[in-house]
Structure 1
Amino acid sequence: MANTDITATQSMANTKDSAPSMDFFGERVVSHPNEVPDFVRNMHQRLVSNASPNDRMLMDIVRLAEAHPADVAVTLLRRAPSCDRAARIMWRTIASSEMALEKVLPTLLCVLEDWPLHRVSASDGDKTKVFALAATVVVWEILCLPWCPAPFMEYSPRLLVALLFQVFVSTLDMPEEVNTFWKGYQEQLSLPISINRFAVQTVRALFRHLRCLDLLVAVERKCGWDTLLCAATHHYAMGLLAREMHRTSNPLCSCIAEIRHVLMPLCSHVALHLLQLLSTQEPRWDLPALAFLVEVLECHDMKEWSDSALEIISRRLQSKSKEKRRLALRGLVVLSKDPSLAEGIRSLTQSLMGLLQDADGEVVALILSVFLNELEDRATLISSPTALQLAEVLRQLFDYDNSHVPLLSIRLFRAVMELVMDKGKKPLKKHVSQSLLPLFFHYHDQNWHVAEASRETLLCAAKFLKRRRLKQLVKKEKLWKFAECLLAEDRSRAAEHLRQALPYLQSPQEPLREAAVRFIGIAGRYLRKQQEETWLIYKALQDLSDDISPTISSLALQTLQLLRAAQRAPYSSGFRRCKTTSKRVGGRGSPKAALWGSLWKSMNN
C-alpha cells in the first residue's frame, strides 16, 4: 500500500462520521439511478488518468455509495476486479464513511459468498459476472486501512463465515478464469501466495481488526492456519478455531474484558450463520461447518437455537461420511444434556442403536454417552423393548478393547436395570443373569473406574435378581465365595458359565486372565462328568501354560494338574469337607478330598 493512496482519503477519514447527504452541494450526483454505473466508470477512469481527487470528487463517491450502494459496489468490482490504484482510492473513500460502508458491505458479502462468480444485473442492464475473489480483495484493502471501519464489527460474523468458506472452496475449485484473474492481481502487488492463503491472510486481518490477538497466537501455535489450507484437514482447523474462540470468550480466560465482549457474540453469531448454511447450503462445506458448530453448542447464546441444531445434527447421523457421523454424535452428547430436548433425543433411539454396531470405539462411546446423559437425573422410564435391545447390545460391549466403552456400557447397563418399566423387568432377568459373570471378571479390571462400576452394577444385578446371598458377598467383597456361590446356585448353567469364562483367558489384562483361570478351576468340579467341557478346560489351561506372565502360566499348570488328578480320583466327598481338608493337604482325609482341597486353596489364594 503506497502512502499516496491513503493521502487522498485521509481528509475523509477525519470527517467520516459526518458524510454529506445527496444534496449537500445543492445538486444531485446523478439524475437517474441507471446513470450510476456510467458515473462510477467515468470517475474511475479519471483517477486512472492520474487526476488528483479533489474534495468534491471524494464527496460524490460517498454520496453515491450511500444512495446506490449495490450499483456502486458491483460496477466498481466489474470495472477494477484487481482493485488498482484508482479503485483503492474509491473503496477507501467509501470506507471513510460509516454510513456508506454499512450500505455497501451487504453487496460485497453477497459477491464474496457466491464462489466463483456472482451473477447480478446493474441498473443499466449490465449482467457481466463478478469475481467473488474481487470482493475478497476489497475486504483485504479496507482491513489494511489505518483506521477501523465500525460496520465491520456488525458484519464480522457473516464476513468470517464467507472468508472461511472461500478458504475451503478455493482449495477444491479453481476455474481457469479465476486463476487468470488472480495471476494478474499477484503481478500487480507482487503477492507470492495462493488464493486460499490470501483468504486465510484476510481472515487473520479481520481478527486483528477485532483485536483478537490472543486468538491469533493460539491458533498459530497449534498450526491451525496451515491446517485450514488443506481440504482434508480443513474441518479440524475449523473445530480448533471454534474452540479457541469459545475459550478466549470465556469469563475465566485471561483475555481483557473488551476482547471477550467481542468474541462472545461472535461465536454464537457465526454458529447461527452456519446453522442457516447447513439448512440450505450444498453439502460440500457441511463437514467444516458442522465441525465449528459442534464446538460452540455449549455457548449460552446457543440455547435458543438448540431445536434447530438438533434437527440439523440428527440428519447427519445417517451420513455416509464417518467423520460427519462422529461430529453429529459429539453434538448430540452436548444437546442430550438439555432436558428440554429430551423428546427429540428419545426419538433418535433406534438410529443410535443401529450405530452401536460401528467398529469405531469413539463412535460407540459417544452413543453410550448420549444415552447416559438422557437418563441422568431424570424420571425417564425405559420401555421394555428398548431395555431388552440395550441390555443385549451392552453385554457385548463389556469386553470392548477400548476401556472407555466398557466403563460407559457397564454404567448404562445399571441405569437400564434401575429405570426399566415394571412390565419389562421379568423379560430383562435373562440378560441380567447372563451379565453376572462378565461383571465379576471386570471387578478385577486394572482400570479402577471400570472395576468400581462393575462392583456397583454387580450389586445392582444381584438386587434386581433378588439373590440375597450374592448381594451380601459383593457387599463384603468376598469375590471367590461369590464365584463358588454362583456356580453352586446355578449348577445347571455351569457349562454356560465355563464358555463365558474361556474368552477371558485371552484378555490382555493379567488380573482378568488370572481370575479366569481360578474361576475355571472352581467350575471344573461341577463339570467332571461332562467330557466335552472337561476337554475344553484342559486345552485352555494347557494353552495358557506358556503365558507371558510366569504367575499365570504357573497357576494354569497347577490348576490343570489338580483337575486331572481329581478327575482320576472318584468324587464322593462333599465340597465343604474339601475346604477343611485343604488346611492339611497330605494329612488326614481321603486322597480325593485332599486334591479338591488343594484346588480350593489354590483358588482362594
Structure 2
Amino acid sequence: MKASAPDLDIFGERLVSHPNEVPDFVRNMHQRLVSSAPPDDKPFMDILRLTEAHPTDVAVTLLRCAPSCDRAAKIMWRTIASSGMAVDKVLPTLLSVLEDWPLHRVSTSDGDHTAVFALAATRVVWEILRLPWCPAPFMEYSPRLLVALLLQVLFSTKEMPEEVNTFWKECQEQLSIPTSPNRFAVQTVKALFRHLRYLDLLVSMEHKRGWDTLLCADTHHYAVALLARELHRTSNPLCSCIALRLLGLLSRREPHWDLPALAFLVEVLECPDMREWSDSALEIISRRLRSKSREKRRLALRGLVVLSKDPSVAEGIRSLTQSLLGLLQDADGEVVTLILSVFLNELQDRATLISSPTALQLAEVLQPLIDNDNSHVQLLSTRLFQEVIELVMDNGKKPLKKHVSKSLLPLFFHCHDENQLVAEASREKLLCAAPGPGAEPAPTLPSCRSLQLAEDRSRAAEHLRRALRYLRSPQEPMREAAVRFMGVAGRYLRRQQEETRLIYKALQDMTDDISPAISSLATQTLQLLRAAQRAPCSPGFR
C-alpha cells in the first residue's frame, strides 16, 4: 500500500521529506482536482515549488497519471506554465518525451518504470500554446521543439502502434481534437509559429499546401524542404539553429528519419551562419552518397553543389572524386547534372590543376555524356571536358589525346544542336580540341575537316560507324549534318567496300525521312557517291 502524500508544515517550507515522495504528491493533487472544485492558491504555489525542485518527477508523473491531459491536468500544467522558472526546468523533460516515439521510458524517484506516450507531451505543449501568453522558455527552445514536432508528424504518419492508437482514441472521446495524431502534431507546429509571430510563413505554407504535404509519408521531406525555404526567407537565425540541431542528430548513426532532416539541411546550407559548420555538413552529406535511397543521394549531391562553392572545404570535396566518378554512371539525369555541377564548381579556381589519372578518368566518363539525351547534361559535360583539357597537368596532355580525338565527332554534330547553348559550347570545344591545320576557324559551323578524315582513313571508318546514330536524331539539323557527313566520308572511303555499303544503306533509309529537305539531300548525296564510285580515282578528285 502506497503512503499518502506528505503533510506540509505550517510555513510551507517542506513539501516532501524525500524525493521518492514527489510522484505521490503529484498524483494526490491531481486526484483532488479531479474530484472537487479548484482549491485556493496555496496548493498551486506548492506545485510550482515542487516543479522547480523536482522537474522530471513532476512532469513524468503528471504525464503518466493524466496522459490525455484532462481538466485537472490542464490546471496543473497551466499553473506550471505561469512561472518562467518552473516551465524552463520542466521543458527539457517534455522535449525528451516528445523526441522518443512512440514511448519514453524513464524511471521516477519512486521506482516507477511505466512508459510515457510521446503524444501525451504533444498534448501538453498544445495546451500551453493555447494560453494567451507564451512562456519565454518556449521561445528559447523553439528550434529543438520544432524539430521534435516535425519528426513526430512523420512518425505518427508512418506508424501507429496499437497501444498508441488505443490511447489516442481515449483522447478523442474526452476532448475535441483532430481525428489523427499527425494532424494534431501539425496543429501544434502551427500554434508554435503563431506564438513566434511567423504569420507570413503560416500563410505561405497554407497557400502552397505545405501542411497537407507534410501529412503524407512519401512527401513529408518535400514539405520540410519547403518549410526550410520559407524559414530561410523569414528568419535566418531560427533556420540556422534548427539546422545545427539536425546536424547533431544526423552525426549519429543513420536514422530512418534522416531524409526530411537532410532535406531541411540542404535548403539552408547557404545561410551565412552555416559557414563555420561546412566541414560537419560535408562529412554528413558525403556519407549519404552511398545510401541505397535514390532520394537521399540526390539530396546529398544538391548539398555538395552548394558546398563545392566554399573554398574552405575544397580538399574534402576533392577526396570524394572517386565516389562521384562512380555515380556518373547513373542513368538519372538529375544525379549526373548535379555531379557535373560539383566538378565545375571545384574547377572555378583556375589555380587548381587536375592530376593526370583523374583527368583520364573524367575524360573517359564524360565522353558518352556529350551525347546524352538530356541537353543540360550535354552542356555541362562539354564545358567540364574543356575545363579538364585546359587544367590538366602538363604531363597528362599526351594520354588525353585519345579521348580528345574520340570527342571530336559528337562535338561536331552537337554544333548543329537546336539548343543554342549546347551548340555554342560544342563549337567552342571543337575548335579548342582540334587546333592546327586540320581545323577551320569557321565562325559558324566547323566543317568535317575538323575531324581530320583525310589524314587518317582508319579514323574516318571509325567515325562513320559512330555517326550512324545521328541519322536517327529527333533534331532535323543534326540529321542533316549526319547526311552531309555521310557524303564526305563516302568520298574518303569509296574504295572500302564494307564502309561504302554502310553509307549507301544509311543514305537510302534517309530518302524516306519525314523532312522533305533531308530526303532530297539524301537522294542527291547518294547519286553523287554512286557517280563518284564509277569514276576513275584521280589526284584532283577531292
In the superposition, the TM-score normalised over structure 1's length comes to 0.86
Deviation at 1:50, TM superposition (A): 2.3
SS at match of 2:79: helix
**Which stretches of structure 1, 4 residues or longer, exceed 6 Å deviation after superposition?**
none
Whether contact under 8 Å (1:267, 1:296) holds in the other structure is yes
Instruction: Return the match for 1:397 from 352, 362, 369.
Output: 369
Whether contact under 8 Å (1:483, 1:519) holds in the other structure is no
Q: Is 2:499 aligned against 1:533?
A: yes
Deviation at 1:485, TM superposition (A): 7.2
Instruction: Return the match for 2:26 from 37, 40, 43.
Output: 40
Q: Is 2:516 aligned against 1:550?
A: yes
Deviation at 1:93, TM superposition (A): 1.0
Hey, what does 2:4 align to over in structure 1? none
**Aligned partner of 2:532: which letter?**
A
Deviation at 1:468, TM superposition (A): 2.1
**Aligned partner of 1:173: which letter?**
E
**Aligned partner of 1:507: which letter?**
S
Instruction: Return the match for 2:319 from 329, 347, 354.
Output: 347
Q: Is 2:196 aligned against 1:202?
A: no
Whether contact under 8 Å (2:154, 2:220) holds in the other structure is yes
Distance of aligned partners of 1:401 and 1:23 in 2 relative to their CA distance in 1, 3 Å threshold? farther
Give CA-to-partner distance per residue, 1:211-253, whole Å, 9 cap, x none: 11111121222221111111111111111111221123xxxxx
Matches of 1:543 and 1:223, distance apart in 2: 53
SS at match of 2:269: coil
**Unmatched tracts of structure 2, length 5 or more:** 1-7
Matches of 1:369 and 1:133, distance apart in 2: 43
Deviation at 1:387, TM superposition (A): 0.7
Deviation at 1:34, TM superposition (A): 2.0
Give CA-to-partner distance per residue, 1:24-51, whole Å, 9 cap, x none: 9662333332221111111111111123
Give CA-to-partner distance per residue, 1:135-191, whole Å, 9 cap, x none: 000001111111121111111111111111111111222111111110011111132
Matches of 2:31 and 2:299, distance apart in 1: 52
Matches of 2:139 and 2:122, distance apart in 1: 17
**Unmatched tracts of structure 1, length 5 or more:** 1-21, 249-262, 577-605
Q: Is 2:259 aligned against 1:287?
A: yes
Matches of 1:529 and 1:304, distance apart in 2: 68
Q: Is 2:455 aligned against 1:469?
A: no
Matches of 1:282 and 1:468, distance apart in 2: 55
Matches of 1:281 and 1:131, distance apart in 2: 24
Hey, what does 1:176 align to over in structure 2? 162
Deviation at 1:489, TM superposition (A): 3.1
Whether contact under 8 Å (1:316, 1:328) holds in the other structure is yes
Instruction: Return the match for 2:153 from 155, 167, 173.
Output: 167
Give CA-to-partner distance per residue, 1:392-418, whole Å, 9 cap, x none: 111100010111000000000001101
Matches of 1:107 and 1:192, distance apart in 2: 25
Q: Is 2:83 aligned against 1:84?
A: no
Q: Is 2:530 aligned against 1:564?
A: yes
Matches of 1:370 and 1:218, distance apart in 2: 31
Instruction: Return the match for 1:104 from 80, 83, 90.
Output: 90
Deviation at 1:476, TM superposition (A): 3.6
Whether contact under 8 Å (1:388, 1:428) holds in the other structure is yes
Hey, what does 1:380 align to over in structure 2? 352
Give CA-to-partner distance per residue, 1:326-355, whole Å, 9 cap, x none: 111111111111111111111111111111
Q: Is 2:102 aligned against 1:116?
A: yes
Instruction: Return the match for 1:434 from 384, 392, 406.
Output: 406
SS at match of 1:111: helix
Q: Is 2:198 aligned against 1:231?
A: no
SS at match of 2:257: helix
Q: Is 2:208 aligned against 1:241?
A: no
Hey, what does 1:52 align to over in structure 2? 38
Q: Is 2:277 aligned against 1:310?
A: no
Whether contact under 8 Å (2:375, 2:419) holds in the other structure is yes
Whether contact under 8 Å (2:88, 2:137) holds in the other structure is yes
Q: Is 2:125 aligned against 1:139?
A: yes
Name the structure with the higher helix share. 1
Matches of 1:340 and 1:556, distance apart in 2: 56
In the superposition, the TM-score normalised over structure 2's length comes to 0.95
> Which deviates more, 69-78 or 234-243?
234-243
Distance of aligned partners of 1:381 and 1:282 in 2 relative to their CA distance in 1, 3 Å threshold? closer
Matches of 1:65 and 1:546, distance apart in 2: 88
Whether contact under 8 Å (1:484, 1:522) holds in the other structure is no
Give aligned pairs, total. 535
- Equivalent residues in 2 for 1:6-45, closer than 5 Å: 27-45=13-31
Distance of aligned partners of 1:560 and 1:178 in 2 relative to their CA distance in 1, 3 Å threshold? same
Hey, what does 1:585 align to over in structure 2? none
SS at match of 1:563: helix
Over aligned residue pairs, what C-alpha RMSD do you find?
1.8
- Could you tell me the percent identity over the aligned residues? 80
Q: Is 2:469 aligned against 1:503?
A: yes
Matches of 1:117 and 1:504, distance apart in 2: 62
Whether contact under 8 Å (1:458, 1:474) holds in the other structure is no
